[in-house]
Structure 1
């Protein structure tokens, strides 16, 4: 399971225990009782990779087309309207495929 936590300024310096406790509490509110079922967890925090999901920060997400020859990006983290969702990953993949098709004259 992968969980992305919003409000990075609040959580970037929090302990793993504090983060996991909040995950348990939030999951419980939607009927997902995780407490007591997680055997192992790992918190990955990269301060330079965090940005707010609030309006006005979308410009920090990369586009599918890059300036690097032969490099096209796809994934839910790229610039598209659905952050951190399967729909966003699919849409990003479609946009990346269109970029590649244009580069090779197929679209």
Structure 2
């Protein structure tokens, strides 16, 4: 039993490290996409980023099912507040971008 627990702990650490690597990969890809001037390269990197997101979801779901990465659903009022904040931020960024491009 102790050996099984030890193996489970090693599995949890390995899968957690994999999730961390995938998050780092996504960060690096986002930077590369934003800084790319070649549309073909940008498109390929975007496809790779989307695959990375899919892989992260698979790893996260595995960890969550095993109880290694527990999350609690946000209360509806908190969800609504965050959604409104992101909508406001998005509108501000779009407005600033439009103003900048018109100059």
TM-score (ref. length: structure 1): 0.25
The structure whose RCO (Cα within 8 Å, separation 6+) is larger is 2
Q: TM-score, with normalisation over the residues of structure 2?
A: 0.26
